[in-house]
């Protein structure tokens, strides 16, 4: 019976998400219409041959009604065809698939690091609310969201890559080429990205922990002689898991955006550097492809977060 | 005239006076306001203060360390870093203001309509807001910039479009809170048009939360402008913005590593000031120390 309701919930969520996902594809498609003038002429750039302009027109089917263009484009997307790059002529989907692992590795590393530092920090601050440690750690966390992460990345490169030679300054290697080397490559980008993540997690979770620790049931647990550690790990963490998951979902969205500039700093061949170069070179199919894949990732992550929250807290399911 | 002002002055507590008292009581807000005021002054008087032209090149002084002639050193084509930093201030501030203004102009009316009209208008607008918030902001901004064409104005309009759903969501929520209040019903029964009700009776309620959000988004706009200019999608050479200065500094980091600190610190401090002001405003509004509600 339980799995039946679970299935129903999944179907429900998908039904709810369908319009959002469809709208998202429409926005990505519609970006083409923000291109000033005749998109084919503008995208072909200066000194374009008539043939090149015709190619772009044919690629987008710009001579047909918008609805047909969209349906056609969507049909291609549904079959995994994200068109071809105007510059290289290579399929966009293949290039994204090739580069995505590099991006995901940095994002995962940054997320892991943010949790590893942010969660203990929030617990330490919440255990002594109003203390000097609480005050200062939260003040520093507040300023953590104001640091330009790419500037932090530059400073890290300057000190730890060019100064001490502890880490490589640029590039990326895949996990399959050796875990150690891959981790050495993502270390600095992940640290640069995580400053913002640590600050966000520390601040949001501190509030959540402080609220839980002040709850009447915690007083009862304390009264019956349970050790603070047991109260924290067995009871509070369970109650904080939902806000924690929500923050993780939010962070995944932010990190996927912030990693773009970080990839430029470290010359990492991910989808971030791909979309920036495409935008500069007016390679619009590539821009659309990357934006589409990113938003699909975010929607999928949000779906997972919702599902996990529901599993962890049956109260959400009943509501 | 004089008699009137004497008559009124003791009874009313002017907004300016309340703001003054608030700044006296909150050092964080006071510091942020002082810093931003100074920055604004610097921006307006850049040509008077800056020792050199921001675009003047000096091939005899390339990538110099800070010295008596160039207090913060020079960049790779011999331009004075201090002058570029000073001239970059109005550009970075203008860019942030532009993005937030576009976001306000698009988002607030849309949120107001969604919240007040309700029904299917609200259903559609809410879905659109939800969808747009699924895009990582900077990715969407890069996509829109790619479509509009690169350049600072286009990039900041793109960022404004990304901000619009945030303002729309906030305004919608505030509107929903008050649209069934007695005074709104009263206005309606007097025959006020929906437009008048929205603008005169509902919109003022959204002012304070929107003000807080505006301040915090100014910080984000500044950081995004720096990012976009850093990767080459924002401001184009030879004009300086703090982000594009960092790009030059990064390219020459092995020779002159110190060049990356002035623009980076300028971005950090300014974002910090906007954020601090936003949070102080939020606290003050919750406490009611600026609003009239707090006085009664």
- d(CA B244, CA A272) in angstroms, rounded, equals 18
Of B223, B233, B249, the CB nearest to A279: B233
CB atoms within 10 A of CB B123: 12
* pLDDT value of position B1: 43
* C-beta of residue A271 within 8 angstroms of C-beta of residue A228: no
Q: Would the CB atoms of A291 and B150 count as touching at under 8 Å?
A: no
- In three-state secondary structure terms, B81 is helix
CA A80-A81-A87 angle, 5° bins: 140
Q: Which segments of chain A are extended strands (E)?
A: none
- The helix-helix angle for B15-25 and B27-44 (nearest 10°) equals 110
- Statement: residue B2 has pLDDT above 70: no
Ranges A187-191, A208-212, A314-318, B213-217: which has the least confidence: A314-318
- d(CA B123, CA A205) in angstroms, rounded, equals 32
Select from A82, A106, A151, A193 the residue whose CB has the most chain B CBs within 10 Å, as the one to mutate to test that interface.
A151
The DSSP call for residue A222 is H
Q: Which residue has the higher pLDDT, A303 or A38?
A: A303
Bridge partners (DSSP) listed for residue A91? A84
- Statement: residue B6 has pLDDT above 60: no
Q: How confident is the model at residue A319 (pLDDT cuts 50, 70, 90)?
A: low
- Of A108, A113, A106, A112, the residue nearest A260 (C-alpha): A106
- d(CA A51, CA B181) in angstroms, rounded, equals 63
Instruction: For residue A303, give the chain B residue with the closest CA.
Output: B134
Token couple for A274: 């791909």
Q: How confident is the model at residue B9 (pLDDT cuts 50, 70, 90)?
A: very low
Q: How confident is the model at residue B272 (pLDDT cuts 50, 70, 90)?
A: very high
* C-beta of residue A197 within 8 angstroms of C-beta of residue A118: yes
Ranges A9-13, A16-20, A31-35, B239-243: which has the least confidence: A9-13
**Which B residues 184-243 touch A at CB under 8 Å?**
219, 223, 226-227, 230-233
- d(CA A126, CA A135) in angstroms, rounded, equals 10
Q: Would the CB atoms of A279 and B127 count as touching at under 8 Å?
A: no
Q: Min CA distance, B186 vs chain A (Å)?
A: 36
* pLDDT value of position B295: 38
Q: Would the CB atoms of B147 and A145 count as touching at under 8 Å?
A: no
Q: How confident is the model at residue A41 (pLDDT cuts 50, 70, 90)?
A: confident
Q: Would the CB atoms of B127 and A254 count as touching at under 8 Å?
A: no
- Statement: residue A305 has pLDDT above 80: yes
Q: Would the CB atoms of B134 and A157 count as touching at under 8 Å?
A: no
pLDDT digits (tens, 9 = 90+) for A267-304: 889 999 999 999 998 888 899 999 999 999 999 998 88
- In three-state secondary structure terms, A37 is coil
Q: A307: which residues sit within 8 A by CB, 6+ positions away?
A: A9, A10, A13
- Of A305, A122, A140, the residue nearest A211 (C-alpha): A122
* C-beta of residue B171 within 8 angstroms of C-beta of residue B112: yes
Is the CB of residue A299 less than 8 Å away from at least one CB of chain B? yes
Architecture in CATH for domain A93-318: Orthogonal Bundle (1.10)
- Statement: residue B293 has pLDDT above 70: no
- d(CA B156, CA B224) in angstroms, rounded, equals 9
Q: Would the CB atoms of B230 and A150 count as touching at under 8 Å?
A: yes
Instruction: For residue B274, give the chain A residue with the closest CA.
Output: A146
* C-beta of residue A29 within 8 angstroms of C-beta of residue A70: yes
As a whole number, mean pLDDT of residues B234-242 equals: 88
As a whole number, mean pLDDT of residues B22-28 equals: 83
Q: Min CA distance, B131 vs chain A (Å)?
A: 5
- Statement: residue B85 has pLDDT above 70: yes
- d(CA B135, CA A294) in angstroms, rounded, equals 7
Q: Min CA distance, A138 vs chain B (Å)?
A: 13
- In three-state secondary structure terms, B80 is strand
The domain segmentation of chain A, as residue ranges, is 2-78, 93-318
Q: What is the pTM of this model?
A: 0.88
* C-beta of residue A260 within 8 angstroms of C-beta of residue A272: yes
* pLDDT value of position B223: 94
The DSSP call for residue B64 is P
- Statement: residue A8 has pLDDT above 90: no
* pLDDT value of position B11: 52
* pLDDT value of position B289: 64
- Statement: residue B62 has pLDDT above 70: yes
- d(CA B197, CA B180) in angstroms, rounded, equals 12
CA distances from B188 to A263, B122, B179, B194 (A): 55, 20, 11, 8
Q: Would the CB atoms of B147 and A34 count as touching at under 8 Å?
A: yes
As a whole number, mean pLDDT of residues A14-25 equals: 87
Q: What DSSP string runs through B121-178?
A: HHHHHHHHHHHHHHS-HHHHHHHHHHHH-SSHHHHHHHHHHHHHHHHHHHHHHHHHHH
pLDDT digits (tens, 9 = 90+) for A92-105: 999 999 999 999 99
Place of tokens 């995944």: A252
- Statement: residue B294 has pLDDT above 50: no
Token couple for B237: 């050479």
Most confident of the following: A171-185, B18-32, B72-86, B217-231: B217-231
As a whole number, mean pLDDT of residues B73-101 equals: 89
Share of chain A above pLDDT 70, in %: 97
Q: How confident is the model at residue B81 (pLDDT cuts 50, 70, 90)?
A: confident
Q: How confident is the model at residue A111 (pLDDT cuts 50, 70, 90)?
A: very high
pLDDT digits (tens, 9 = 90+) for A245-274: 999 999 999 999 999 999 998 888 999 999
Is the CB of residue A25 less than 8 Å away from at least one CB of chain B? no
pLDDT digits (tens, 9 = 90+) for B129-166: 999 998 988 999 999 998 888 899 999 999 999 999 99
CB atoms within 10 A of CB A254: 21
């Amino acid at each position: 019976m339980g799995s039946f309701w679970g299935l129903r919930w999944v179907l429900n969520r998908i039904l709810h998400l369908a319009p959002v996902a469809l709208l998202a594809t429409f926005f990505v498609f519609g970006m083409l219409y923000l291109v000033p003038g005749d998109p084919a002429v503008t995208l072909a750039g200066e000194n374009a041959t008539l043939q090149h302009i015709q190619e772009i027109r044919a690629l987008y089917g710009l001579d047909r009604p918008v609805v047909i263009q969209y349906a056609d484009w969507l049909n291609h997307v549904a079959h995994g065809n994200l068109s071809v790059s105007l510059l290289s002529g290579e399929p966009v989907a293949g290039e994204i698939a090739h580069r995505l692992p590099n991006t995901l590795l940095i994002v995962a590393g940054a997320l892991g690091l943010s949790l590893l530092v942010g969660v203990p920090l929030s617990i330490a601050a919440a255990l002594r609310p109003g203390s000097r440690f609480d005050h200062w750690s939260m003040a520093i966390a507040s300023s953590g969201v104001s640091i330009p992460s790419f500037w932090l990345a530059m400073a890290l490169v300057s000190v730890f890559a060019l100064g001490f030679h502890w880490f490589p300054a640029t590039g990326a290697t895949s996990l399959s080429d050796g875990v150690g080397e891959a981790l050495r490559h993502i270390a600095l980008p992940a640290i640069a990205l995580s400053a913002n993540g640590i600050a966000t997690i520390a601040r949001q979770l501190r509030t959540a922990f402080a609220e839980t620790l002040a709850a009447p049931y915690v007083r009862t647990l304390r009264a019956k002689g349970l050790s603070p550690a047991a109260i924290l790990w067995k009871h509070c963490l369970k109650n904080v898991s939902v806000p924690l998951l929500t923050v993780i979902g939010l962070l995944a969205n932010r990190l996927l955006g912030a990693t773009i500039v970080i990839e430029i700093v470290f010359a990492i061949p991910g989808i971030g550097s791909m979309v920036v170069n495409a935008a500069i070179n007016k390679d619009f199919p590539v821009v659309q492809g990357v934006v589409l894949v990113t938003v699909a990732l975010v929607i999928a992550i949000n779906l997972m977060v919702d599902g996990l929250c529901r599993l962890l807290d049956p109260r959400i399911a009943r509501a | 005239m004089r008699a009137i002002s004497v008559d009124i002055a003791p009874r009313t507590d002017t907004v300016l006076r309340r703001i003054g008292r608030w700044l006296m009581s909150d050092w964080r807000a006071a510091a942020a306001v002082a810093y931003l005021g100074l920055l604004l002054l610097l921006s307006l008087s850049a040509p008077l203060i800056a020792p050199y032209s921001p675009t003047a090149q000096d091939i005899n002084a390339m990538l110099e360390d800070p010295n008596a002639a160039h207090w913060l050193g020079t960049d790779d084509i011999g331009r004075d870093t201090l002058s570029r930093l000073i001239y970059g201030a109005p550009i970075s501030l203008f860019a942030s203001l532009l993005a937030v203004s576009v976001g306000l102009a698009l988002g607030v009316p849309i949120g107001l309509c969604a919240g007040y009209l309700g029904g299917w208008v609200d259903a559609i607008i809410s879905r659109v807001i939800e969808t747009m918030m699924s895009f990582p902001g900077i990715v969407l901004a890069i996509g829109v910039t790619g479509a509009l064409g690169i350049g600072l104005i286009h990039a900041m309009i793109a960022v404004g479009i990304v901000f619009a759903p945030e303002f729309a969501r906030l305004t919608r929520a505030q509107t929903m809170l008050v649209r069934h209040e007695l005074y709104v019903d009263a206005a309606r029964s007097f025959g006020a048009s929906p437009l008048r009700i929205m603008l005169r009776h509902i919109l003022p309620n959204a002012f304070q939360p929107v003000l807080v959000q505006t301040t915090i988004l100014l910080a984000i706009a500044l950081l995004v402008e720096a990012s976009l200019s850093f990767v080459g999608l924002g401001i184009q050479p030879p004009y300086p913005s703090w982000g594009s200065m960092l790009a030059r500094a990064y390219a020459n980091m092995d020779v002159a590593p110190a060049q990356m600190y002035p623009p980076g610190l300028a971005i950090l401090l300014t974002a910090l000031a906007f954020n601090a002001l936003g949070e102080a405003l939020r606290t003050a509004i919750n406490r009611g120390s600026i609003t009239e509600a707090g006085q009664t």
